[in-house]
Chains A and B, each alone.
Chain A
Amino acid sequence: MATEAPTMRRTPLYERHAELGAKMVPFAGYEMPIQYEGIVAEHRAVRGRAGLFDLSHMGEFFFKGRGAGATLDRLVSSDIAGLAVGQARYGLLTNERGTIVDDVIVYRISESEYMVVVNAANIAKDRAHVLARLGEDVALDDRSFGTALVAIQGPRAVDILGSKTDADVRSLPSFGVTQGRVAGTRATLARTGYTGEDGFEVFVANADAAKVWDALLDAGREAGIKPIGLGARDTLRLEARFSLYGNDIDETTDPIEAGLGWTCKLDKEFTGRDVIAAKKAAGPRRKLAGLVIQGGVARHGHEVAHDGEVVGQVTSGTYGPTVEKNIALAYVPTPLSKIGTALAVRIRGKDVPATVVKTPFFRRPE
């Protein structure tokens, strides 16, 4: 068995994070910034103005060839066959057991080229999963380690990015993807993100990452842009109820119980479809529910109790700086997942009252 190299990878923006005084932590094999100024201030900057994220640890798989669309349509739970050039879609890589290998976004770059963005921690696993199931007339090009990703998110993102690119980002629809130049460098620009805000993800070659980062920070200065670490990325995504792979979903969870049934196009063939369809028909035994905790912060792994009995487990929990509540996601038996149900989260041996609430916890005002 091969042993994994213990060396931490660094993104091409590592020096920038150091200069900005970021606190660095190991994450998915990378040294990543967890925060610069502070999680709450960064969170609020994204909701109110704009934030800049280094997400270069994320993986980018390119699928090329006449068979690329057909292969991806079988690998991914959502409707990839129906994706037009310039469109992107969220979906799941599923296995034959109908559980979740990863959650991904598939971008149709051209007639015969797709980019799939995968979670950093899953790059090797996903590559093996995909290679074992590759169809005809398609080649996989894993450019994860050569591609940098800079995300700009928040209500001012469109103006800031718009001032630094020749791409028409203002008319790019949500989940649209296009090619253009950002700060003079070739980039793929998509109106996607993980914050619940309007925003963009900009993919460039590693060598160009610093140029793009500097240009966007500079262009956004007046608007109050801030660099954002993984800490605020987590509070932002949880308020918006986006799943975090490894916390809320993994290979022991299925899309139906995770509330991701909407990503499964059950009238097409894809890996694990029959199992997922059967689960949907039978109804899930448990569901991922949103909780608000009255006093205390729930964390991943905390037990959820009902009438003094353990009935489930918290998968994600934090203080939500915008909703100003302690929020969590937890798997609980379906009958206890109804909105308004009174539960408790066991925090340091005490049962702290919690209520099942509607999610997302935060929705951006239209």
Chain B
Amino acid sequence: MSAVPDDLQYSKEHEWVRADGDVATIGITHFAQEQLGDVVFVELPEKGATVRQFSSLGVVESVKAASDIYAPISGEVVERNVKVIEKPELVNSAPYGDGWMIKVRLADKGELTQLLSPTDYRSHIGETAGAGGD
């Protein structure tokens, strides 16, 4: 697993987006889960709720502390990851896989241009290209 996969877009608050047509999957990055430590609780919006770009969509709690998850894009929640609510440790073990958070129907595809590319995100977290990951 790469620490910053090349096929995703990122927010400065350490969320990732995988856009597929007009639906996007949202999660938090490897860097974010590493900073949080062991995730023990995830609170996500219900299906049908609306999330707004750069506003809080939910919360991840690690043993240490609670942190907001910010919506990298706006839209209607079409699915939330029930598995990650039941097994919050998936956020640590598979942040880009089974540890995803929600899927939203994009309200405005133009918002995607406001996100960071993998290269920009790497420099945002102070990682040189190609380094890190396992």
Contacts and interface: CB of A to CB of B under 8 A. Distances in A.
Interface of A: 34-35, 38-41, 231, 235, 295-297, 299, 318-319, 321, 326, 348
B37 interface: yes
Contacts of B59: 348
B41 A39 contact: no
Q: Which of A38, A231, A296, A297 has the most CB of B within 10 A?
A: A297
B43 A38 contact: no
Contacts of B43: 296, 348
Interface in B2-37: 37
Interface in B40-84: 40-41, 43, 59, 61-66
B98 interface: no
Contact of B41 (A34, A35, A297): A297
A319 B41 contact: yes
Contacts of A296: 41, 43, 61
A235 B64 CA distance: 10
Interface residues of B, number: 12
A348 B59 CA distance: 10
A297 B61 contact: yes
A41 B93 CA distance: 13
Contacts of B62: 39
Nearest to A293: B41
Given A296-B43, A297-B66, A39 B38 contact: yes
A319 B89 CA distance: 12
A36 B83 CA distance: 28
9 contacts: A38-B38, A39-B64, A40-B38, A231-B63, A296-B61, A297-B41, A297-B66, A321-B63, A326-B40
Nearest to A299: B66
A35 B38 CA distance: 11
Nearest to A34: B64
Majority DSSP secondary structure for residues of A touching B: mixed
Contacts of B65: 299
Q: Which of A231, A235, A319, A348 has the most CB of B within 10 A?
A: A319
A7 to B, nearest CB: 25
A296 B58 CA distance: 12
B63 A319 contact: yes
A35 B37 contact: yes
Contacts of B66: 297, 299, 348
Contacts of B37: 35, 38-39, 231
A107 B12 CA distance: 52
A346 to B, nearest CB: 13
Top-8 shortest CB links A-B: A319-B40, A40-B38, A39-B63, A297-B61, A319-B63, A297-B41, A38-B38, A39-B38
Contact of A326 (B38, B41, B64): B41
Contact of A231 (B41, B61, B64): B64
A39 B64 CA distance: 8
A273 B43 CA distance: 47
B11 to A, nearest CB: 21
Contacts of B38: 38-41, 319, 321
A235 B63 contact: yes
Given A231-B37, A318-B63, 10 more contacts: A38-B38, A39-B37, A39-B63, A235-B63, A295-B41, A296-B41, A297-B61, A297-B66, A319-B40, A321-B63
A299 B66 CA distance: 9
A318 B40 CA distance: 9
Contact of A40 (B41, B61, B63): B63
Nearest to B34: A38
B131 to A, nearest CB: 16
A279 B62 CA distance: 38
A101 B43 CA distance: 39
A295 B62 CA distance: 13
A299 B63 CA distance: 10
Nearest to A40: B38
Contacts of A35: 37
A326 B61 CA distance: 11
A34 B36 CA distance: 12
A18 B84 CA distance: 33
A235 B62 CA distance: 12
A16 B18 CA distance: 41
B90 to A, nearest CB: 14
Contacts of B64: 34, 39, 231
